[in-house]
Chains A and B, each alone.
Chain A
């Protein structure tokens, strides 16, 4: 990797950073002098060498900004100057000019105050109302200098402090050297429409936008054999350059505790520590690491980090801050992904477009919960609709930018990015990717493989049952037929059945809705409900004339709100019912139907205005409906104007037409006909079959047996009836039916997901017409929804695109507008060759590095842009990112590389010289002690006290007192966990890549007075009595609890001094409580002691 590409970073470093660090450290009192010195030295170590060599490259650097393609051929809009010192001064002054002057005097400002625009050298020289702002070469005569130096009024800048003397001096020198610009201060907005702005292609050559470079592992001398992994060679090389040496290895107890805390977020147990101390084999570390990486707790720990970045929460935020009860499916997906070592590129792709890329994989669909995780208002007025949607897209785009690419893409919402080559147009093209994307709660079948296996087993069983039944039909029944006829006792006269089921010839749906026959004669609809549908039932009734028709609309748990309709609220609307009749035709002949006139409509219930009579009024806009009585079965009965029947039986074609309202088909219809008129509708239940089948069959058998001139169809019917009365067949048939009903159901989970054109989660403003999404995403001037400037088509960041956009589209978008937009983005973002994958890889390995060393190789993990510090070890970062990609994007090998390195295994004791020369330990001359993060603190307390419930997944509820790991506590945005927030957990509104670490008195109040911690301390005390552990041989009754408490909390024996303090404390507390007449002074004292141990620095720090 070329040093040149770090130029921009290095130039930022000197003045600003020293100032900040001084400020912080001076706050720490006596550390002032040391830190100042240290900072200067670290600057020299990190940046100064680069700066010198870089100065000559300033002109190349000038290519970083944006310019319209048209003018890209010209080197710059401003005149290049050979005066390197002048350019160097300008680059140093750029920040001041941008922040203190250009707000009013820049192309981006609303009105150029005084007409002056400092954006380019040309406009600077052109000046404003008072003439040229600068006379090149003559600072003393230049207005810019004179106003800033208070030599003339009005003094500038108008707001805030005057420019400091050193800045004024540099300003003067810059003017004296001709006031050269390397590139415009603010990219001009008036050179072509901003919505079409192209970046200067040279910007792609600059890190971090470059493809991954091949990096050789340094081969510097390592006489002590310190290096264990390639990582160590990079680290050692830099340490040697700086004249520093690595710290000694951490002792085995410390290392074991460190590994447990870092990899699983839970403390190592005394047994684990003991085993590791005793196992001095060289590969013991590797084995422990492999073991820890394989634990689900590793997945939990990694998920914890990612959920900060993904701004995951389980409530909407805003007004009512409603719960999102299905959000945690995403969280559990993240845990599994890290536990299973899902390739990281897949992990990213699924979160953007899992539903499009792998619709059959449940985890992929659940992964889109990433897009859905942002806060969103649950109450909106009309005036807010569009800006709320715009804000929702901004949340998605900004979070993808920071989380996946380490780029502050969101800064380009209102203007071109001030520092990075991200034009505002790129922002809106990214946002357009999500034009149709909405939040939805989806029922998702999980574990499809398991389900497929179960279905296969079931099918085999069913096949066997069907074969057994067929054997009876083919081998046994024909032999018994004549005897059965002969033995038949005719049914009594007048015993005709009430309702007859008919024999199903065909059941069809015009819309192709699958209709599955159930045992009670009804049919269950499945699949997505069609807008309009028509069901046609063709049934044969080999019997006496029919006089009535009955339609059951049955409730069913599979239907929305229990049905019986298919629309979301459970209603249906039967627009039209028509019936036609025909003689049952001979085999191969076509039936000839005649219409049947219907009358006397009646139903158990009709919705007001949608009476059952509308079902036969020939109007498609009216119909029979039953709201609000959803979730229960309904029945309607119609009489035929005249009895319908033919010799040899009657075929009815019953047509149910549903077109009154979209999706309003009946979900589970059943048809029956009667030979006796006059039935009133009766309440029905899904279980009640109106047909007495035994009675119906007996009547029919008698009817057919008595006929000597049976048609072929009637003979076939009689054979079926024989089977129905045969015990052996009935048993076999019952077994088949039971088996059929036992088809394994898919396991499902309801998950908060995001996708295009899904059913959005209901919103308070739905009644006001809130659209949830707009048909297009528009370019918005200044980010203002009232200033649309054309439709933005989906696209990618130009600076990370080295191929035509079609490369990532792969034919998507053919079927319907916008389809596959997210899939394309997902492919681009993980394409390390021509897309953004190289940057995505750098960003994630840097995040992992930060987990273990407190600070990333790039210190700002969510900002790799020009405003960030230069990487401390650029080649190492490049090498690690390359390892990730070469290794198929598996993260666990990267974790393994890091934690088995000698660098990671160093002691946290720093050499005095290292503290002096590298106070921030960017060179990693020792391990950096860290306080556990909020979840780590709480989980450690639970684990040490033995109160931890280690179950995985699901929700733990909102209460800090829960025994579940902190990962599983509900994340409620308006009511963050007091415990976690006290220890610096973020607010989960905006993604956060790095937490602050504060030390506050309320943390102590929580540890010492908090009721939950006290309960854990009491559990800890009880455990100390119940489970003795010790790390030393001497033991007495008096010291045994102390030894155990130290073993559990700290994994070691107490020192003599600590032991003495503990013994005295316990004695003193016990005496005091006894004197006060408290019930169990010994137990209370032990709990007091345990509580102190829980809060100790040693307990709560990774050493």
Chain B
């Protein structure tokens, strides 16, 4: 009997839930061996559910690439204005990247004002974000281990300055899976203005030693969004459906002949999932159904911020549909292509702030009014901070500073309107309630209901975790 073409025939098997971890990676249906044999003792991993009740279900990480200056954004240092031009006593010229361009203390070119009930200080470059400070928990005492982009990016993404470790998004989807198996569980969006990728490129969203299915899926909001998602142009759904049906039928015969097997079942199922993804993913990414009011809120038609607005709005649509982890990079590779303001800190930061202020503010607003903010964690920050002293040049900039930087978190499980930790009077070094990258990771995992000491994976005989051997949850910002 020839297989019917329409309507879609049921698979010969009763549909069954194959794996609680479904959708953990991009459309992951089965993960053989690794866990069964190489893997994990009783204290490790999660089996796809959190260790304890989560405060947040999803993460949107706004990666402010290149190292935004804490003292020109959220960590207000009036002392810099008073001591403008004075040398910074005891400064080690090798702290930043350019030892030969060390200048004196430099006041921020921007004015700061207090906002909200919390009275948080915000630079003038974020007029709209300033309206959301009571949702944010600022951590002004972050520090990291490297004064060099690639290792610092890797550190913030993977917890390790060396390549080869899974990034946070991979760990989270490995531990929790995703709520929508028709979409990738972990999505990464990079600059769409041709300014390049963050240094280290895809190593920043690599799954490292975890299976490739947990790596970040690149999503292009400016072109074909996901590789291989669309069928050939010369083929209609009718013909493709017939192809999928034939595959299903032949694979089912094969299974019937050879005896049942979890992996064969999963592969049969993967055809159905792939077919469905072709419909679901484009729908999720189609902004045409958004209202004009929403589009305007984000600034989609604004030539300055439209590209980033598109990514933020897409992020909202993804988390709305259960995507677990979304990372958006603001800025391209380095120097003036990103927040890496070695020269002209004023122009650099004002420019990138103008690209992101409205979309990020809109994202917080939009998540909130849809009831999503309570269970969506937003993270803002870059791989390190910038020095309070000038990097000399025609238009002074600021060099890399691993000793202090600011990140803020908002949404799911985060106390609003608080500031945790402090840097010194110049914003040079974190001095009070210092927060390491491990602490930050521990906190993100904690908000997601994961104990960072128990989210482990055994590889080459060792139990690895995102936080290696340290890390403590930043209790002060957890609601």
Q: Distance (Å) between the CB of A92 and the closest chain B CB?
A: 12
Q: Distance (Å) between the CB of B324 and the closest chain A CB?
A: 16
From B2, B231, B263, A1064 is in contact (CB under 8 Å) with: B2
> Cα distance A1068–B246 when bound, in Å?
11
Q: Distance (Å) between the CB of A1047 and the closest chain B CB?
A: 15
User: Per-position contact with A for B347-366: 1 when CB-CB < 8 Å, else 0?
Assistant: 00000000000000000000
Q: Give the A-B pair count, Cβ closer than 8 A.
A: 320
Report the stretch among A132-140, A344-352, A456-464, A1071-1079 that lies at the interface.
A1071-1079
> Cα distance A973–B30 when bound, in Å?
25
- Complex interface residues of chain B between 258 and 286 (CB less than 8 A to chain A): 258-259, 261-264, 266-271, 273-275, 277-278
From B202, B210, B262, B461, A865 is in contact (CB under 8 Å) with: B461
- Asked if B5 is an interface residue, CB under 8 A from chain A, the answer is yes
User: Per-position contact with B for A973-995: 1 when CB-CB < 8 Å, else 0?
Assistant: 11110100110111101111110
- Complex interface residues of chain A between 988 and 1006 (CB less than 8 A to chain B): 989-994, 996-1006
Q: Distance (Å) between the CB of A860 and the closest chain B CB?
A: 6
> Cα distance A1097–B252 when bound, in Å?
9
Q: Knowing A27-B20, A317-B163, A1088-B243 are in contact, say whether A1000-B26 is a contact too (CB < 8 A).
A: yes
> Cα distance A1063–B339 when bound, in Å?
60
User: Per-position contact with A for B18-58: 1 when CB-CB < 8 Å, else 0?
Assistant: 11110001111111111111111111110110011000000
Q: Are B262 and A863 in contact (CB under 8 A)?
A: no
From B16, B200, B215, B229, A974 is in contact (CB under 8 Å) with: B200
Q: Which residues of A contact B107 (CB under 8 A)?
A: none
- Asked if B99 is an interface residue, CB under 8 A from chain A, the answer is yes
- Complex interface residues of chain A between 921 and 972 (CB less than 8 A to chain B): 929, 931
- Asked if A745 is an interface residue, CB under 8 A from chain B, the answer is no
Q: Are A1097 and B38 in contact (CB under 8 A)?
A: no
Q: Which residues of B contact A1097 (CB under 8 A)?
A: 251, 254-255, 264, 267-268
- Asked if B121 is an interface residue, CB under 8 A from chain A, the answer is no
Report the stretch among B144-152, B288-296, B375-383 that lies at the interface.
B144-152
Q: Knowing A382-B99, A990-B164, A1060-B2 are in contact, say whether A1072-B238 is a contact too (CB < 8 A).
A: yes
- Asked if B453 is an interface residue, CB under 8 A from chain A, the answer is yes
Q: Are A16 and B41 in contact (CB under 8 A)?
A: yes
- Asked if B128 is an interface residue, CB under 8 A from chain A, the answer is no
Q: Which residues of A contact B39 (CB under 8 A)?
A: 20
- Asked if A411 is an interface residue, CB under 8 A from chain B, the answer is yes
- Asked if A1091 is an interface residue, CB under 8 A from chain B, the answer is yes
Query: Which residue in chain A gives the minimum CB-CB distance to B162?
Result: A391
Q: Are A909 and B258 in contact (CB under 8 A)?
A: yes
From A381, A1008, A1067, A1078, B147 is in contact (CB under 8 Å) with: A381
- Asked if A383 is an interface residue, CB under 8 A from chain B, the answer is yes
- Asked if A107 is an interface residue, CB under 8 A from chain B, the answer is no
Q: Knowing A19-B42, A987-B164, A1001-B277 are in contact, say whether A1009-B461 is a contact too (CB < 8 A).
A: no
Q: Which residues of B contact A382 (CB under 8 A)?
A: 94, 99
Report the stretch among A28-36, A697-705, A804-812 that lies at the interface.
A28-36
Q: Distance (Å) between the CB of A376 and the closest chain B CB?
A: 9
- Asked if B369 is an interface residue, CB under 8 A from chain A, the answer is no
Q: Knowing A28-B19, A1001-B27 are in contact, say whether A319-B199 is a contact too (CB < 8 A).
A: yes
Query: Which residue in chain B gives the minimum CB-CB distance to A398?
Result: B460
- Asked if A763 is an interface residue, CB under 8 A from chain B, the answer is no
Query: Which residue in chain B gives the minimum CB-CB distance to A1088?
Result: B243
- Asked if B12 is an interface residue, CB under 8 A from chain A, the answer is no
From A20, A23, A931, A1001, B273 is in contact (CB under 8 Å) with: A1001
- Complex interface residues of chain A between 47 and 104 (CB less than 8 A to chain B): 95, 99-100
From B213, B227, B261, A1000 is in contact (CB under 8 Å) with: B213
Q: Knowing A27-B21, A996-B31, A1092-B247 are in contact, say whether A160-B51 is a contact too (CB < 8 A).
A: yes
Chain A interface extent, by class: 35 or more
Q: Which residues of A contact B263 (CB under 8 A)?
A: 929, 931, 997, 999
Q: Which residues of A contact B28 (CB under 8 A)?
A: 998-1000
Q: Distance (Å) between the CB of A1028 and the closest chain B CB?
A: 21
Q: Are A976 and B163 in contact (CB under 8 A)?
A: no
From A27, A868, A989, B48 is in contact (CB under 8 Å) with: A27
- Asked if A1010 is an interface residue, CB under 8 A from chain B, the answer is yes
> Cα distance A16–B36 when bound, in Å?
11
Q: Distance (Å) between the CB of B468 and the closest chain A CB?
A: 10
From A100, A974, A1089, B201 is in contact (CB under 8 Å) with: A974
Q: Distance (Å) between the CB of B209 and the closest chain A CB?
A: 6
> Cα distance A997–B240 when bound, in Å?
27
Query: Which residue in chain A gives the minimum CB-CB distance to B148?
Result: A381
Q: Which residues of B contact A897 (CB under 8 A)?
A: none
- Asked if B346 is an interface residue, CB under 8 A from chain A, the answer is no
- Asked if A226 is an interface residue, CB under 8 A from chain B, the answer is no
- Asked if A742 is an interface residue, CB under 8 A from chain B, the answer is no
Q: Which residues of A contact B278 (CB under 8 A)?
A: 1005, 1009
Q: Which residues of A contact B83 (CB under 8 A)?
A: none
Q: Are A998 and B234 in contact (CB under 8 A)?
A: no
User: Per-position contact with A for B189-204: 1 when CB-CB < 8 Å, else 0?
Assistant: 0000000000111110
Q: Which residues of A contact B207 (CB under 8 A)?
A: 987
Q: Knowing A998-B211, A1005-B229 are in contact, say whether A1068-B243 is a contact too (CB < 8 A).
A: no
Q: Are A1089 and B246 in contact (CB under 8 A)?
A: yes
- Asked if B431 is an interface residue, CB under 8 A from chain A, the answer is no
Q: Which residues of A contact B17 (CB under 8 A)?
A: 29
- Asked if B212 is an interface residue, CB under 8 A from chain A, the answer is yes
From A976, A982, A1057, A1103, B202 is in contact (CB under 8 Å) with: A976
Query: Which residue in chain A gives the minimum CB-CB distance to B234?
Result: A1078
User: Per-position contact with B for A853-882: 1 when CB-CB < 8 Å, else 0?
Assistant: 011000110110101110000000000000
From B43, B254, B451, A1098 is in contact (CB under 8 Å) with: B254
- Asked if A495 is an interface residue, CB under 8 A from chain B, the answer is no
Q: Are A321 and B200 in contact (CB under 8 A)?
A: yes
- Asked if A1038 is an interface residue, CB under 8 A from chain B, the answer is no
Q: Are B239 and A1072 in contact (CB under 8 A)?
A: yes
From A384, A1006, A1084, B151 is in contact (CB under 8 Å) with: A384
Query: Which residue in chain A gives the minimum CB-CB distance to B16?
Result: A29
Q: Distance (Å) between the CB of B19 and the closest chain A CB?
A: 4
Query: Which residue in chain A gives the minimum CB-CB distance to B199?
Result: A319
Q: Which residues of B contact A317 (CB under 8 A)?
A: 163, 203
Q: Are B47 and A23 in contact (CB under 8 A)?
A: yes
Q: Which residues of A contact B89 (CB under 8 A)?
A: none
Q: Are B5 and A1096 in contact (CB under 8 A)?
A: no
From A99, A862, A1058, B461 is in contact (CB under 8 Å) with: A862
Q: Which residues of B contact A27 (CB under 8 A)?
A: 18-21, 47-48
Q: Knowing A996-B32, A1000-B27, A1095-B247 are in contact, say whether A383-B147 is a contact too (CB < 8 A).
A: yes
> Cα distance A954–B228 when bound, in Å?
29
Q: Are A1001 and B270 in contact (CB under 8 A)?
A: yes
User: Per-position contact with B for A527-555: 1 when CB-CB < 8 Å, else 0?
Assistant: 00000000000000000000000000000
Q: Which residues of B contact A990 (CB under 8 A)?
A: 164, 208-209, 459-460
Q: Distance (Å) between the CB of A405 and the closest chain B CB?
A: 11
- Asked if A900 is an interface residue, CB under 8 A from chain B, the answer is no
Q: Could you list some 29 contacts between A and B, CB below 8 A?
A: A20-B44, A23-B47, A28-B262, A160-B451, A160-B453, A375-B162, A377-B148, A391-B162, A408-B460, A414-B469, A929-B258, A973-B163, A976-B212, A984-B212, A997-B31, A998-B32, A998-B212, A1000-B27, A1000-B29, A1000-B270, A1008-B231, A1010-B228, A1057-B253, A1068-B5, A1069-B243, A1072-B239, A1095-B247, A1098-B251, A1101-B264
**Known A16-B42, A26-B47; 14 more pairs at CB < 8 Å:** A29-B16, A99-B43, A160-B454, A319-B148, A320-B199, A377-B150, A383-B94, A854-B33, A860-B37, A974-B202, A981-B215, A989-B163, A999-B270, A1004-B271
Q: Which 5 A-B pairs have the closest CB atoms?
A: A1064-B2, A1001-B27, A863-B461, A989-B164, A1004-B274
- B contact residues vs A (CB 8 Å cutoff): 1-3, 5, 16-21, 25-45, 47-48, 51-52, 94-95, 97, 99, 146-151, 154, 161-164, 199-203, 206-213, 215, 227-232, 234-236, 238-240, 242-244, 246-247, 249-251, 253-255, 258-259, 261-264, 266-271, 273-275, 277-278, 451, 453-454, 458-462, 469
